[in-house]
């Protein structure tokens, strides 16, 4: 976005997808992993989550979806996946490689990813 103090909050409310409050981080991950334009990345994520594109920025719908699928939420709910645990589920559900997840698997001897 750019510099500097508090400006990101305004962008987030004016035009942003909402990050982990909604599905912004998931759409970003698909764009980053597959180089998709945002419109295509939104459709890809919506299809994977079995929701509409409009649902992706609805925090009420997405909180339920994220809890059900174990994708992590902004609220750190007891017993629910958080941090790295949630990223394991995100990589699997979206069918993308997440570098830190692959590194975790390598370091813990779970298995070596094909792309490593």
Q: How far apart are CA 51 and CA 35, in angstroms?
A: 22
For other proteins, which residue of 100, 110, 111, 112 counts as binding (CB under 8 A)?
100
**Residue 70 found at the interface with other proteins (CB under 8 A):** no
Residue 108 binding other proteins, by CB under 8 A: no
Which residues, numbered 13-52, are part of the site for other proteins (CB under 8 A)? 13-22, 24-25, 27-29, 31-33, 35-38, 41
Tokens representing 43 are 């459709």
| Local structure of residue 74 (DSSP, 8 states) | S
In angstroms, the CA 92 to CA 87 distance is: 8
- 9 near other proteins, judged by CB under 8 A: yes
Answer yes or no: are the C-beta atoms of 76 and 70 closer than 8 Å: no
- DSSP-based three-state secondary structure for 51: coil
Binding site for other proteins (CB under 8 A): 1-22, 24-25, 27-29, 31-33, 35-38, 41, 53-54, 57, 71-72, 74-76, 82-84, 86-87, 90, 97-100, 103-104, 115
């Amino acid at each position: 976005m750019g510099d500097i103090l508090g400006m990101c909050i305004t962008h987030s409310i004016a035009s942003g997808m909402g990050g982990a409050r909604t599905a912004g981080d998931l759409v970003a991950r698909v764009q980053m992993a597959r180089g998709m334009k945002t419109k295509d990345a939104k459709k890809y994520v919506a299809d994977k989550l079995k929701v509409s594109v409009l649902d992706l920025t609805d925090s009420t719908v997405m909180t339920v979806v994220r809890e059900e699928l174990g994708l992590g939420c902004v609220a750190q709910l007891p017993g629910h996946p958080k941090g790295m645990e949630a990223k394991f589920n995100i990589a699997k559900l979206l069918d993308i490689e997440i570098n830190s997840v692959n590194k975790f698997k390598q370091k813990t001897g779970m298995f070596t990813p094909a792309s490593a």
